Structure 1
Amino acid sequence: MQISVQQAVAQLQQTTGSVFTTVMQHGSMVVELYKPDRIDLQQPHEQDELYVVISGTGEFLNGETKTAFQPGDVLFVQAGVVHRFENFTPDFSTWVIFYGPNGGEAPH
């Protein structure tokens, strides 16, 4: 399985009004392209997730911790944790990778 950023963006543009599109699935893993418009309205998710920032900069709230992000950064969020992107540039987009069981994986 393979998809480019350009292919994922084209797929997203075909889904009128949506800010994400699913581009790949295998077992419990789901990969999406996420491109919020000015405000990130997402809610906590049932699975653990990774974000791989494609473009743009801003701040990421993960629980009570806020950090700056830029292209190439990888951000981890445990299942059920409140999180969102804030103060991001208009060109912001990210890969989102959901994986594992609902409730998240046990820490080592």
Structure 2
Amino acid sequence: MQIIEGAGVWKPTAGSANDWVEHLRVPDLSVGTYRIPAGGLDDQSPHTEDEIYVVTAGRARIVTPGGAAEVGPGSVIFVPAGEEHRFDDVTEDLALLVIFGPAYGSRTPGP
């Protein structure tokens, strides 16, 4: 067992830019916190791993090719590997607990 302290918590950083912190990594999954300040832009690219986002603080909209949805504390979002997605219209500082399966960056992109 391992208690993961600070996962999913909003902690402003110098410059208030987007921030990614990985808290745990094992071969089959990784856990981290992604933060976007109010008014910030999400510039991430699709990942090669499946993702689950849990919104722990803030409000925004998630946009994918399949549509858009408003999200806030308690929202749980599944994004399959390779799907374009971004958080947009971040109206309150956004903190997300992110779970990747397998671990973030462990799959090589296809041709």
Both proteins in one fold, TM over 0.5: yes
Q: CA deviation at 1:61?
A: 0.8
CA separation in 2, counterparts of 1:27 and 1:58? 31
Partner of 1:22: 22
Work out which of the residue numbers 56, 64, 67 in structure 2 matches 1:65: 67
Which segments of 5 or more consecutive residues in structure 1 lack a partner in the other structure?
104-108
Partner of 2:49: 47
Q: CA deviation at 1:64?
A: 2.9
Calculate the TM-score normalised by the size of structure 2. Answer: 0.76
Q: Which moved more, 1:18-27 or 1:78-87?
A: 18-27
Q: Structure 1 residues 2, 9: closer, same or farther in 2, change over 3 A?
A: farther
1:31-52 CA-to-partner distances (Å, cap 9, x unmatched) read: 1100024000000000000000
Contact 1:79 1:102 in 2 (8 A): no
Q: Structure 1 residues 3, 67: closer, same or farther in 2, change over 3 A?
A: same
Calculate the TM-score normalised by the size of structure 1. Answer: 0.78
Q: How many residues align?
A: 101
Q: CA deviation at 1:13?
A: 4.3
Relative to total residues, which structure has the larger helix share, 1 or 2? 1
Which segments of 5 or more consecutive residues in structure 2 lack a partner in the other structure?
none
Relative to total residues, which structure has the larger strand share, 1 or 2? 2
CA separation in 1, counterparts of 2:101 and 2:41? 25
Counterpart code for 1:64: G
Instruction: Give the aligned CA root-mean-square deviation in angstroms.
Output: 2.7
Partner of 1:106: none
Where 1:2 maps in the other structure, the secondary structure is coil
Counterpart code for 2:44: Q
